[in-house]
Structure 1
Amino acid sequence: MDLAPRTSKELLRKLRRLRRKFEVVAVVCDSKSVARQAAKDRRVDLLSFPPRKAHNRFFDRAEAELASNALSCLEIDMAPVLYLKEFPRIRLLSNLRTETAIAKKFNVPIVISSGATNEHLMRNGHDYAALATLFEISISTGLRSLSEIPGSIVERNRKKLCSKYVAPGIQVIKEGEDCPDK
């Protein structure tokens, strides 16, 4: 589920309503307040920053520290790397280099997604991993960012969506008649 809230209050309201219905929740961070709230909320899996607003990319050291503590990941859509031309592409690559360096420093996992809106923007995983080297991500890390990391997010959240899940570290083992009363 991709959420694009305008305010942090709207984000909290949507998370309360939708988190238990979807395996993966991504937040498009169009403002600094939304980015900060999303980074510190454990219900958010992916932080996504729109490529069209290079000056409005809010993934900085403070954001990375919050995301690291909340187990959120930085999502990088590869489609803009393919369709942007000239200076906008150069600016995007520069921003992505900076953001990936910050994410690595604070151990924030990076998820690479296609971001494709049509079949012409689709590529295979190795192509995306090769493109990720443009912003200082190795091929092996790029491949992990395409498969292992998203897979671990889905696995972790499926456990949370299970009816036996109560809270982090707590789940129902037995219930009903075979449980002794005290």
Structure 2
Amino acid sequence: MAALLTLRALSKNCSVSSRFGALRLNGLYRAPAALSVATTQRTCQAVVPYQAKHFSVSPVTKGAPEIEQAGHDHVLHWTAERILSVILMGAIPVAAVWPTPSAEYFLALTMTVHSHWGIEAIVVDYVRPSIFGKVIPKLAVGAVYALSFFTLGGLCYFIYTDVGIINAVKLLWKL
């Protein structure tokens, strides 16, 4: 409350608040030549944000050199991730309504690939060669592939030998 009263008194004494309207130019702030206003034995100075720099949101046509040399097509991968997410949104209700083995195998495959891509992105982002060297990132990505392989194998085994994913969720939901 005291800070609010101080700011109001400062703006009344310095008459700076009326000058802020002149600062706004096309959504950006510009610093005027003089913002100091002398009052009775007191100089008040307004603090103005820095001028915003122009930036563009046009699509990038070239990636980083190390990515281009590796031959990765990240746009295609991103598109595949989005398509898989949409497919997964349909696969879950279909498997819940008709819990057949083929629907559950498809659900296991799509869930495993979806989680694999997410975990792989996290590992690639955070276990970088510039921090950990060349060997540890490769081992980490290999561990992600092994985890995904065993996850898919475990889900398929569970579908084949036990009640299946959907029926297991229904049984857990009844608890």
TM above 0.5, yes or no, is no
Which one has the bigger helix percentage? 2
TM-score by length of 1: 0.28
TM-score by length of 2: 0.29
Which one has the bigger strand percentage? 1
Larger radius of gyration: 2
